[in-house]
Chain A
Amino acid sequence: MVGLTKPVKPTPTESPATGRALTEPAQTEAPTGSPDPGSTAATAALTEALAAEYAAIFAYGPIGVKLDDELAEAAREAEAAHRARRDALILAFAADGVDPPAAEASYALPFEVTGAADALRLAVLVEERVAAVWRAALAASDGTTRAEALDALVDAALRAAGWRAAAGAAPATVPFPGTV
């Protein structure tokens, strides 16, 4: 994220993407929709979070190859952050004796990433999606789990702001991160 803490020269921006399909595998949305037998609300929410982290890791592949220099570095850092969240989640599942859901082999991107502008737009979408699932996990958790969910929400919101700024969007912030 460090690479994103400075606004980068505005690049041609596109109108904010409206598609919500994003990088979801087969199942979408519905925090409680995870058909995890015997799962608590927390497990369901964290399953959604893990799915979003998997998708984010996948998406930063095509994102990174379309970016240069400090933006490419920022993409690498973002991907590493999502890998760290993924690993922490998998450990948490294991600690609870729950089999963590596996990553999909592939994720459908909401649009083709043909250049830097697409890459930035996708990066914003990825982080907004991640922020949303972690926001949903807040209500289903407490204690350290809620604190971790909140940290993840904040981190995703910070990265989303960085990518918006890189895309030349103003303002780079949104009033209610995790609801966009």
Chain B
Amino acid sequence: MFGVARVVFTMAVRYGPRLTRRAVLAAAGGVGVAGVLSGCSLFTPEEPALPPDPLEPLLASAHQLIARYQEAISAHPDLAPRLQPIQQAHEAHAEALQELIGRSPSPPGTGEAGSPPAPSPAAHPDDAAVLASLAELERAAAHQARLACLAAPAERTGLLGSITAARATHAEVLTWSD
């Protein structure tokens, strides 16, 4: 038993590298440099990077919205009773999306690098301007979620549908006058 294990181990050590090198050479044969380069992955234990989850942009926009609401609440504390529940909804969405994506959380804010337009802080806009600006963001975010829902596999449609509807209702209530 013990002997068998040792034999197997030894064989692996002895023949493993050779087999691998042969495989690489075979792969490279006729393919030139490209074949050799792609063969390198046989030596490196690292997994090739997984493609990003299609929900990553949606998660990023949830984080962006959370940040935007935080800015708005800080600058306009009088709006807090109205904005905080919406911000909390986006936090719940981010959590649910993260769970669905099933990867380690990317730090909030990293998503900011890409798409969204700069905050345009302007000269301390009034409440109405802040609400209008947030409503506009919510409309775009709802559209983004809608497209994600329509393209998603069945098991993801429920959450994405709810997020679409939530963002649409946010856009709506933000346009209501007090």
B-binding residues in A (CB < 8 A): 5-7, 131, 134-136, 138-140, 146-147, 149-150, 153-154, 156-158, 161-162, 165, 170-179
Contact = CB atoms under 8 A, between A and B. Distances in A.
A150 B173 contact: no
A1 to B, nearest CB: 9
B2 interface: no
B170 interface: yes
Contacts of B154: 138-140
Interface of B: 81-82, 85-86, 88-89, 92-93, 96, 142, 146, 149-150, 154-155, 157-166, 168-170, 172-173, 175-178
Contacts of A157: 165-166, 168-169
B146 to A, nearest CB: 6
B166 A177 contact: yes
A46 B173 CA distance: 29
B169 A176 contact: no
A15 B177 CA distance: 24
Contacts of B157: 138-139, 146
Contact of B86 (A131, A173, A177): A173
Contacts of B173: 7, 161, 165, 171-173
Given A131-B165, A135-B158, A157-B166, A175 B176 contact: no
27 contacts: A5-B175, A7-B173, A7-B177, A131-B165, A134-B161, A135-B165, A138-B149, A138-B158, A138-B161, A146-B149, A150-B150, A154-B142, A158-B165, A158-B168, A158-B169, A161-B173, A162-B172, A171-B85, A171-B173, A172-B169, A173-B169, A173-B173, A174-B166, A174-B169, A176-B96, A176-B159, A179-B162
Contacts of A174: 89, 166, 169
Contacts of B81: 170
Nearest to A149: B161
